[in-house]
């Protein structure tokens, strides 16, 4: 395929199918390279661990047999620190590469499925072609240029977002780890005592980077979604997002949960996770996520804020109406007195309404539009209630077909 064919939008279903097949082949090559890197990193990590263990044994034996030999002890200590550092870096690299391999594998499988569907729609006959014709689709019709541009733009936006997140997160942290390792390497030969504190800081940096990488992988595509399903994934997402925002999210599930079709689980998770992030950006005081399993699944996400209304200056007190005499007929209040009473009641209503509005945490309009679009694509009914502070999702809780 030429460079022009690679960069220009596809103009037909057949060309789109061919483009997807080429992308799958490219991903297969990348997965093979990642597998090779994983094996190399595992081998290096095991080798450094073995050498580190041997150096530790030698240092222990030297301290017993010849404790006065400080020169050799320093050399063994420096060797032990270096090997431990390299082993930690290799193990961290293994975790990062395995996460990338799983993400690429899922992306590759999705592209392969899309390639199969488009090939059936543009191929010669078959049940899928009949279905397309029955739905009023022309398999030989060219893909509109606007659709092609939209697909390519979305792909590039996704790649750009992942690239920026990797650059600002794990890549930057690994750079700091390398700098810290160089500091440790320098101190081992000049100040072994101070080097011990720097080694502990290095280990903490590696652990922090590993945790951040795992969080990044979960945000891109949680692996637990495929393994354990929607319930476990949403519970973890609520816990992790609440922890990062410093807000405890109430999570509850009623009824017997079950697995849903893969595309439905993925779509529901993405909708709820995006809504959680949108609500948390508004700093609510309370956020609850509740799932109710029956013949259908109902997901209810609600946010509230407990705000004390600011004390307002009270209007001039209206005089009390004169007391009624026993047996006297009901008399109308003087106009001025009635107006003052009405003004005070209106003021009280304004204060109460202002306090009520302060407790509302409304989902942003842009997030709501995106949720509506995504929900419609997976046959999920979405409602926004209580002036935007409560999101309700309804879908048929049908189990996926058995393989």
pLDDT band at 383 (very low <50, low <70, confident <90, very high): very high
Angle at 388 between CA 384 and CA 390, to 5 degrees: 65
Domain ranges within the chain, ordered by starting residue: 3-167, 226-307+360-396
Please give the Cα distance from 99 to 64 (Å, whole number).
44
Phi and psi at 355, nearest 5°, equal: -65, -40
Task: Assess whether pLDDT exceeds 50 at residue 1.
Answer: no
Task: Assess whether pLDDT exceeds 60 at residue 312.
Answer: no
Task: Assess whether pLDDT exceeds 50 at residue 313.
Answer: no
Return all residues near 11 (Cβ < 8 A) that are at least 6 apart.
Answer: 142, 143, 145, 148
Percent of residues, the chain, with pLDDT higher than 90:
13
Give the residue, 28 or 219, on which the prediction is more confident: 28
CATH 3.30.565.10 correct for 226-307+360-396: yes
- For the chain, the average pLDDT equals 77
For 41-99, write each residue's pLDDT tens digit: 788 878 878 887 887 888 788 777 877 777 777 777 777 777 777 777 777 777 777 87
Return all residues near 103 (Cβ < 8 A) that are at least 6 apart.
Answer: 217, 220, 221
Q: Do domains 3-167 and 226-307+360-396 have the same CATH topology?
A: no
269 three-state secondary structure: helix
Task: Assess whether pLDDT exceeds 60 at residue 33.
Answer: yes
Q: How far is CA 385 from CA 254, 273, 292, 382, 392, in A?
A: 21, 18, 17, 10, 8
Residue 4 has what pLDDT?
41
Residue 101 carries which DSSP code?
H
Task: Assess whether pLDDT exceeds 90 at residue 392.
Answer: yes
Torsion of CA 77, 83, 87, 90, to 10 degrees: 140
Q: How far is CA 51 from the centre of its chain?
A: 39
Correct CATH for 3-167 of 3.40.50, 2.60.40, 3.30.565, 1.10.287: 1.10.287
Residue 354 has what pLDDT?
67
pLDDT band at 321 (very low <50, low <70, confident <90, very high): low
Residues listed for the chain: 403
Q: What's the whole-model pTM score?
A: 0.49
Which residue do the tokens 């948390």 mark?
Answer: 280
> Strands 390-396 and 381-385: what pairing?
antiparallel
Q: Is the dihedral of CA 371, 376, 380, 385 positive or negative?
A: positive
Task: Assess whether pLDDT exceeds 70 at residue 123.
Answer: no
User: What angle, rounded to 10 degrees, do the helices at 13-65 and 70-122 form?
Assistant: 170
For 35-56, write each residue's pLDDT tens digit: 888 888 788 878 878 887 887 8
Residue 249 has what pLDDT?
92
For 342-359, write each residue's pLDDT tens digit: 878 777 777 766 666 667
pLDDT band at 120 (very low <50, low <70, confident <90, very high): low
Q: In this structure, what token pair is assigned to residue 391? A: 């999101």
């Amino acid at each position: 395929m030429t460079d022009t064919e690679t960069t220009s939008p596809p103009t037909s279903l057949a060309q789109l199918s061919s483009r997807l097949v080429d992308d799958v082949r490219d991903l297969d090559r990348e997965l093979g390279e990642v597998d090779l890197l994983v094996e190399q990193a595992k081998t290096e990590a095991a080798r450094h661990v073995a050498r580190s263990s041997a150096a530790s044994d030698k240092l222990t034996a030297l301290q017993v047999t010849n404790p006065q030999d400080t020169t050799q002890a320093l050399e063994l200590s420096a060797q032990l620190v270096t090997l431990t550092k390299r082993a930690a870096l290799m193990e961290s690299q293994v975790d990062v590469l395995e996460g990338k391999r799983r993400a690429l594998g899922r992306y590759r499988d999705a592209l392969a499925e899309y390639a199969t569907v488009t090939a059936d729609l543009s191929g010669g006959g078959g049940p899928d072609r009949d279905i397309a014709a029955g739905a009023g689709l022309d398999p030989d019709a060219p893909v509109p240029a606007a659709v092609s541009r939209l697909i390519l733009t979305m792909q590039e936006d996704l790649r750009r977002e992942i690239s920026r997140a990797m650059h600002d997160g794990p890549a930057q942290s690994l750079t700091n780890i390398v700098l810290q390792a160089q500091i440790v390497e320098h101190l081992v030969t000049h100040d072994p005592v101070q080097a011990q504190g720097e080694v502990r800081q290095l280990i903490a940096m590696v652990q922090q980077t590993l945790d951040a990488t795992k969080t990044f992988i979960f945000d891109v595509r949680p692996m637990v979604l495929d393994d354990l399903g929607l319930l476990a994934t949403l519970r973890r997402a609520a816990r992790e997002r609440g922890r990062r925002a410093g807000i405890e999210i109430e999570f509850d599930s009623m009824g017997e949960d079950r697995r849903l079709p893969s595309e439905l689980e993925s779509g529901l998770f993405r909708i709820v996770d995006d809504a959680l992030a949108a609500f948390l950006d508004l700093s609510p005081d309370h956020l609850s996520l509740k799932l109710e399993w029956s013949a259908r699944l109902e997901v209810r996400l609600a946010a509230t804020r407990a705000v004390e209304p600011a004390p307002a200056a009270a209007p001039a007190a209206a005089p009390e109406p004169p007391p009624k005499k026993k047996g006297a007929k009901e008399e109308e209040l003087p106009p001025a007195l009635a107006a003052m009473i009405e003004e005070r009641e209106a003021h009280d209503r304004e204060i109460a309404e202002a306090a009520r509005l302060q407790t509302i945490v409304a989902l942003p309009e842009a997030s709501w539009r995106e949720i509506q679009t995504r929900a419609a694509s997976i046959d999920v009914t979405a409602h926004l209630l209580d002036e935007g502070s409560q999101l309700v999702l309804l879908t048929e809780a049908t189990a996926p077909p058995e393989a």
